[in-house]
């Protein structure tokens, strides 16, 4: 499974990409595959403060519910309305158009790079 | 445990899940696409994990009347019936389909998780009757073709008269060169067929059905969509809507209990005395997209009054649906209730079952 090298990963199978102090957050293809068809995403609101490692939303598939964790601390500056409208984007394009929300942040905690994340997903 | 089709599923890239000790395909690509295929075209299911137990002999009919709550002796050869195996206290041990294959020959098809219990109970309950119980689960595969195009897919592969094969009927047939038992039954709310055949022949038949079905929109379909399909059709799942602490009356399935059939049957005394159930199964319809799920609390005002047994965002209907046990006073369609969905109370309305009817 393809894992882009231009971003970092969490053990909770989320990805985060930092551009000029704004971090874009999504879930990985591995997570999307494991969830099955995503039918609902509950995202933090714009203006809300989120804390790294804490629950900030939910992702529901037909068969399961997973919590969404904030991978960085900061203020939510944008949510992906396209994904809210069409949650299947999380399955079809998890690394690009299926992103979830953006956080303005000073610091991104120490996370996994693509190789470390690949190793994590292969542990099963 | 693996079904005889395990390698075929792996080739198709299926995701597997453990179900009653069996490694079963949960989905091949997308459970929503598979669900839609069954509603609009057709789906191909591996149900080889289910139990097949045969009863033969001059006393088979009487043995089944004693063992089950239904009157299986009244089933015409070639027809099938939905029935239940109850404990002496009236609790449901399994819900199953019984096919009468001939005057003195029946096939009992049990849920995978209960197959051993059903086999054991049938053997014990058939004692004293002129009937032989044989568990054929290991040597039998079960493949289902379900959906509006099922007959069009099977038609060219068999000489059997599919038009003459009614819902809840079965007949011996040859399909693509395989001698098997062809039944018009299913668990999806659609027209469809279930094919019982020797385990070793299952991969070959599966491939032939998949190839023949391609132009009819047939997709291999996993357990994830099987669950949403049966939920939309208002069909109970053992372990969710049915269990040993519930009688058929709780699940609104009192019609399968034939208290007036001749002779005694296991559970009869308890079921006669059961009276009105303290809770009953209802359908719930939500709004928005957050689905009530198994185990969530049902509220009436601020009071917790029941529990969700199954729920999902209905792929066909587009809104959340669920089944739940609530007090009989709250069973009327239109009753406003709510469900605690992970700390958030969402309104739901009691609706008549099934949610979906073809």
Instruction: Count CB atoms within 10 A of the CB of residue A113.
Output: 12
Over residues B147-173, the mean pLDDT reads 97
What's the gap between Cα B237 and its chain centre? Answer: 7
Q: Do A65 and B15 touch (CB under 8 A)?
A: no
What local confidence, expressed as pLDDT, does residue B275 receive? 87
Full DSSP string of B281-317 = EEEEEESSSPPP-TTPEEEETTEEEEEEEEEEE-TTT
Tell me the pLDDT tens digit for each residue of B2-25: 999 999 999 999 999 999 999 999
Q: Quick one: which of B169, B170, B136, B133 has its CA closest to B59?
A: B133
Which of 209-248 (B) contact A at CB < 8 A?
224, 227-228
Average pLDDT, chain B: 97
Chain B residues near residue A38 by CB distance under 8 angstroms? none
- Strand-pair category, B218-220 with B42-46: parallel
Q: How far apart are CA B308 and CA B292, in angstroms?
A: 7
* Residue A78 CB contacts under 8 Å (≥ 6 apart), including other chains: A46, A101, A102
Contact B150, B42 (CB under 8 A): yes
pTM: 0.95
Has domain A8-106 been given CATH number 1.10.10.10? no
Among B310, B342, B343, B344, the strongest candidate for a mutation testing the A interface, having the largest count of A CBs within 10 A, is B342
| CATH assignment of B278-351, among 1.10.1040.10, 2.60.40.420, 2.40.30.110, 3.20.20.80 | 2.40.30.110
- Which chain A residue is nearest to residue B319, measuring alpha carbons? A39
Q: Do A40 and B313 touch (CB under 8 A)?
A: yes
3-class state of residue B265 by DSSP = coil
- Which chain B residue is nearest to residue A34, measuring alpha carbons? B15
Share of chain B above pLDDT 90, in %: 99
Q: Do A40 and B289 touch (CB under 8 A)?
A: yes
| SS3 per-residue string spanning A27-58 | ECHHHHHHHCCEEEEECCCCCCEECCCCEEEE
Chain A residues near residue B342 by CB distance under 8 angstroms? 58, 65
Question: What is each CA distance from B313 to A107, B28, B60, B297, in whole angstroms?
Answer: 38, 20, 43, 17
Q: Does residue B344 sit at the A interface (CB-CB below 8 Å)?
A: no
Whether residue B194 is annotated as binding a ligand: the answer is: yes
What local confidence, expressed as pLDDT, does residue A108 receive? 79
What local confidence, expressed as pLDDT, does residue B238 receive? 98
Q: Does residue B26 sit at the A interface (CB-CB below 8 Å)?
A: yes
Has domain B6-50+139-232 been given CATH number 3.30.1360.120? yes
Confidence of residue B144 (pLDDT cuts 50, 70, 90): very high
Q: How far apart are CA B12 and CA B77, in angstroms?
A: 38
Chain A residues near residue B25 by CB distance under 8 angstroms? none
Structure tokens at B44: 């191909």
Chain B residues near residue A1 by CB distance under 8 angstroms? none
Q: How far apart are CA B221 and CA B300, in angstroms?
A: 37
Q: Does residue B338 sit at the A interface (CB-CB below 8 Å)?
A: no
Full DSSP string of A64-94 = -EEEEE-SS-EEEEEE-HHHHH-TTHHHH-T
Confidence of residue B204 (pLDDT cuts 50, 70, 90): very high
Give me the residue spans of the domains in chain B.
6-50+139-232, 51-135, 278-351
Report ipTM (2 d.p.): 0.88
Contact B83, B68 (CB under 8 A): yes
Over residues B90-105, the mean pLDDT reads 98
* Residue A87 CB contacts under 8 Å (≥ 6 apart), including other chains: A38, A39, A40, A41, A59
3-class state of residue B122 by DSSP = helix
* B134 CB burial (10 A radius; 0-12, 13-18, 19+): middle
Confidence of residue B139 (pLDDT cuts 50, 70, 90): very high
Share of chain B above pLDDT 70, in %: 100
In a structure prediction context, what are the per-residue pLDDT tens digits for chain A, which is 124 residues long?
Answer: 789 999 999 999 999 999 999 999 999 999 999 999 999 999 999 999 999 999 999 999 998 999 999 999 999 999 999 999 999 999 999 999 999 999 999 877 889 999 999 999 987 5
Q: Is the pLDDT of residue B108 over 90?
A: yes
* Degrees to nearest 5, angle at CA B331 with B330 and B336: 55
C-alpha torsion B26→A38→A56→A8, nearest 10: 80
Q: Does residue B337 sit at the A interface (CB-CB below 8 Å)?
A: no
What local confidence, expressed as pLDDT, does residue A106 receive? 84
Tell me the pLDDT tens digit for each residue of B300-316: 999 999 999 999 999 99
Nearest beta carbon to residue A62 from set B15, B228, B290: B228
Instruction: Count CB atoms within 10 A of the CB of residue A45.
Output: 10
Q: Supply the DSSP symbol for A97.
A: T
Q: In the CATH scheme, what is the homologous superfamily, with its name and number, of domain B51-135?
A: Aminomethyltransferase beta-barrel domains (3.30.70.1400)
Confidence of residue B59 (pLDDT cuts 50, 70, 90): very high
């Amino acid at each position: 499974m393809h894992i882009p090298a231009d971003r970092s990963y969490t053990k909770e199978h989320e990805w985060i990409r930092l551009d000029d102090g704004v971090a874009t957050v999504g879930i990985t293809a591995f997570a999307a595959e494991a969830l099955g068809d995503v039918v609902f995403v509950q995202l933090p609101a714009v203006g809300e403060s989120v804390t790294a490692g804490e629950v900030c939303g939910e992702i529901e598939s037909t068969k399961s519910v997973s919590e969404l964790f904030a991978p960085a601390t900061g203020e939510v500056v944008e949510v992906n309305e396209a994904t809210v409208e069409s949650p299947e984007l999380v399955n079809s394009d998890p690394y690009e158009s299926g992103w979830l929300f953006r956080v303005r942040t000073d610091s991104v905690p120490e996370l996994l790079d693509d190789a470390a994340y690949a190793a994590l997903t292969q542990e099963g | 445990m693996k079904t005889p089709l395990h390698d075929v599923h792996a080739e198709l890239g299926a995701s597997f899940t453990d179900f009653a000790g069996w490694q079963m395909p949960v989905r091949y690509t997308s459970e929503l696409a598979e669900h839609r295929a069954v509603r609009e075209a057709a789906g191909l299911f591996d149900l080889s994990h289910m139990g097949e137990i045969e009863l033969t002999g001059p006393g088979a009919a009487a043995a089944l009347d004693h063992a089950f709550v239904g009157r299986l002796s009244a089933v015409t050869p070639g027809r099938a019936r939905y029935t239940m195996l109850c404990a002496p206290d009236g609790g449901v041990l399994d819900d199953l389909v019984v096919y009468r294959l001939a005057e003195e020959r029946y096939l009992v098809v049990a849920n995978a998780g209960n197959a051993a219990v059903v086999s054991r109970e049938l053997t014990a309950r058939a004692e004293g009757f002129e009937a032989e119980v044989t568990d054929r689960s290991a040597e039998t595969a079960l493949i289902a073709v379900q959906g509006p195009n099922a007959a069009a897919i099977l038609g060219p592969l068999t000489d059997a008269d599919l038009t003459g094969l009614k819902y809840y009927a079965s007949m011996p047939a040859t399909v693509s060169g395989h001698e098997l038992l062809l039944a018009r039954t299913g668990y999806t709310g659609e027209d469809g067929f279930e094919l019982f055949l020797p385990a070793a022949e299952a991969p070959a038949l599966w491939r032939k059905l998949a190839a023949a079905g391609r132009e009819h929109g047939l997709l291999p379909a996993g357990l994830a969509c099987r669950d949403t399909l049966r939920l939309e059709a208002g069909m109970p799942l053992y372990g969710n809507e049915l269990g040993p602490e519930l009688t058929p009356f709780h699940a609104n399935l009192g019609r399968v209990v034939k208290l007036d059939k001749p002779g005694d049957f296991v559970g009869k005394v308890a079921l006669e005395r059961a009276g009105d159930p303290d809770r009953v199964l209802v359908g719930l319809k939500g709004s928005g997209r957050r689905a009530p799920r198994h185990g969530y609390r049902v509220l009436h005002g601020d009071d917790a009054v029941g529990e969700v047994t199954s729920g999902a965002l209905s792929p066909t209907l587009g809104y959340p649906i669920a089944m739940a046990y609530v007090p009989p006073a709250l069973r009327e369609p239109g009753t406003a209730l709510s469900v605690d969905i992970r700390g958030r109370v969402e309104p739901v309305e009691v609706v008549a079952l099934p949610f979906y009817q073809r």
